[in-house]
Amino acid sequence: DIQMTQSPSSLSASVGDRVTVTCRASQSIIRNLNWYQQKPGKAPNLLIYAASSLQSGVPTRFSGSGSGTDFTLTISSLQPEDFATYYCQQTYSTLWTFGQGTKVEIK
Amino acid sequence: VQLVESGGGLEQPGGSLRLSCAASGFTFTSYAMSWVRQAPGKGLEWVAVMSGGDGNRHYADSVKGRFTLSRDNSKNTVYLQMNSLRVEDTAVYYCAKALDSGDYPRYGMDVWGQGTTVIVSS
């Protein structure tokens, strides 16, 4: 199975900060990488698909980049509603896997 | 576009449960459907996916041989039959729809249900 490793596991940031979350795959997944946001008690919400495509309705302050094994989710200016947990997911292999999550907390 | 899960509950180790996910608002047969679970206080774990067209199914190693996906296209419903349940299967189970149509979706899951809770305990 392809292992997905996110870093950091958690971070503290202030409103207006630029935030970056990294996801590394155990082998090349080309650009088959998706990002989700999850708030407590809620289902995940798709933010980015195919490494850098913004899902419909998602604010443009969210962006994704990367290919091969290394990927990044960036929030350009953190908003109060962005405090949540973020997950990457690979859909390259037939056995999909998620990263362990990155919790973004208020500083 | 909506997904509604049902069928969760309390079951003893070794028992069985069948989860259902009723879909509406999109062409059900065109999209793969997946199940993702989340144990209490833990991250997301992908469980299984089934394509809309050719019916290909794939399972996480943790559930292979115990869980079975099926779908009834006449009812726009996908099912997850869970047998030989273990304590570690305790989780909220989410049903989700693939963003891209076709038998080999790559673009993640854009519509999710509200989740149904499965508790495995003696």
Over residues A62-78, the pLDDT tens digits come to 999 999 999 999 999 99
Strand bridging mode A85-90 / A70-75: unpaired
Q: CA-CA-CA-CA torsion for A24, A88, A34, B111, nearest 10 degrees?
A: 170
Q: What is the mean pLDDT of residues B25-38?
A: 96
CA B89 – CA A65 distance, rounded (Å): 34
What pLDDT digit, counting tens, does each position of A89-106 carry?
999 999 999 999 999 998
Q: Between chains, do A46 and B109 touch, taking CB under 8 Å as contact?
A: yes
Across the range B36-43, mean pLDDT stands at 98
Q: Which residues pair with B120 in a beta bridge?
A: B11
Is B44 in Cβ contact with A38 (below 8 Å)?
Answer: yes
Q: CB-based contact (8 Å) between A99 and chain B? A: yes
Q: Which helix (H) or strand (E) holds A28?
A: none
pLDDT at B68: 97
- Dist CA B61 CA A93 (whole Å): 13
Inter-chain residue contact B46 with A97, CB threshold 8 Å: yes
If you compute the radius of gyration of chain B from its CA atoms, what whole number of angstroms results?
14
> How do beta strands B77-82 and B17-24 pair?
antiparallel
Query: Which residue in chain B has the smallest CA separation from A58?
Result: B110
Write the residue in A50, A55, A95 that is nearest to B106 by C-beta: A50
In Å, how far is B95's CA from the nearest CA of chain A? 10
Mean pLDDT of B59-73: 96
Please state the rounded mean pLDDT for residues B84-89: 98
Measured CA to CA, the distance from residue B67 to residue B10 in angstroms comes to 17
**Rounded-to-integer distance, Cα A80 and Cα B93, Å:** 28
Q: Do A44 and B46 touch (CB under 8 A)?
A: no
B107/A50 CB distance under 8 A? yes
- Is A98's CB within 8 Å of B44's CB? yes
Tell me if the bond preceding B40 is cis, omega within 30° of 0: no
Is pLDDT at A40 greater than 90 in this prediction?
yes
Asked whether residue B46 carries a pLDDT value surpassing 80, the answer given is yes
List the single residue in A45, A53, A96 with the smallest CB-CB distance to B49.
Answer: A96
What is the pLDDT, as a whole number, of residue B104?
A: 87
- Identify the pLDDT of residue A12: 97
Q: How would residue B52 be classed by pLDDT, with cut points 50, 70 and 90?
A: confident
Q: Which residues of A touch B60 (CB under 8 A)?
A: 95
pLDDT > 90 in chain B, percent: 92
pLDDT averaged over chain A? Answer: 97
Average pLDDT value over all residues in chain B: 96
